[in-house]
Amino acid sequence: MSGFKGAKLLYRAGRMLAQFCFRAFGRLEVTGADGVPKHGPLIVVCNHISLNDPPLLVAAIPRALYFVGKKELFSTVISRFGMRAFHVSPFNRSAAGIDAMRVLMQNLERDRAVVIFPEGTRSPDATLQQGMQGVVYLALKSQAPILPVAVTGTEKFPLWRIPFPFRTMRAKIGPVFSLPVIEGNPSKEVMSSMLDMVMGRIADQLPEDYKGVYGGQSSRKSGGQSGETPAGQAVQ
């Protein structure tokens, strides 16, 4: 349980409960979990197809995860307690992403694993949408390694049924990698190329009918430092 050092008690209990429910009242398939670094800063990037994605990630990844969520989710005492218990920090959407980036950087500086959905919002048809460059900026600024994850099946049922999904949910975890070190300010072309690399790594873990705009694109063409590297965006 070394990957859960510092995790809140309710987070640990919720993770165990989610694993039990997903397996007892559905089917949970996780591949690649052994490759998740147990220590150090980590950026978890994932496709976003449902509000059920965060609970699946919590259950699937053997490490405490930290999220950012729009401040409207913290409007009541109960919601604030629940969000904070599951490591969700509020951010102001009117701050053009600066507030979210600040929170994410603070968590990475504390050697935590943060979750980003690079598409920026949920996909309307469960296929991978065009990514946003915030994830590239965060990775370059923090120099944290990136862990690509693909989820499927969470779009098959509503959030209120998460304790009893009666569906198969899958989380495929790819090898950790890092973006190339860039001297000075990268050009738009370089930023776009690195974003394609990140999104391509997610697409590599997805079935063909989920790849969307990244169908047929291989992240290997973009280079990058792969799994031998030493050891989005928000909940909406």
Asked if the model's pLDDT at residue 176 lies above 70, the reply is yes
**Rounded distance between C-alpha atoms, residue 129 and residue 145, angstroms:** 22
CATH 3.30.870 fits 2-222, yes or no: no
Instruction: Give the per-residue pLDDT at 147.
Output: 98
Which of the two residues, 223 and 145, has the higher pLDDT score?
145
SS3 content of the chain, % helix, strand, coil (to 5): 40, 15, 40
Compute the average pLDDT of residues 193-200: 97
Give the Cα separation of 187 and 176 in Å (integer): 25
> What is the per-residue pLDDT for 71?
75
Q: Which of 20-24, 46-50, 61-65, 225-229 has the lowest mean pLDDT?
A: 225-229
Q: What is the pLDDT of residue 98?
A: 81
The answer to whether 45 and 116 are in contact (CB under 8 A) is yes
Average of per-residue pLDDT values in the chain: 89
Instruction: Enter the pTM of the model.
Output: 0.88
Confidence check: pLDDT of 154 > 80? yes
Percent of the chain scoring above 90 in pLDDT = 70
Report yes or no: 67 and 54 within 8 Å, Cβ to Cβ: yes
Q: What is the pLDDT of residue 219?
A: 55
- Residue 234: is its pLDDT beyond 50? yes
Region 95-115: mean pLDDT is 88
- CA gap 32, 179 in Å, rounded: 20
| Residue length of the chain | 236
Question: Is residue 72 predicted with pLDDT exceeding 80?
Answer: no
What's the rounded Cα separation, in Å, for the pair 92 and 102? 11
State residue 75's pLDDT score.
78
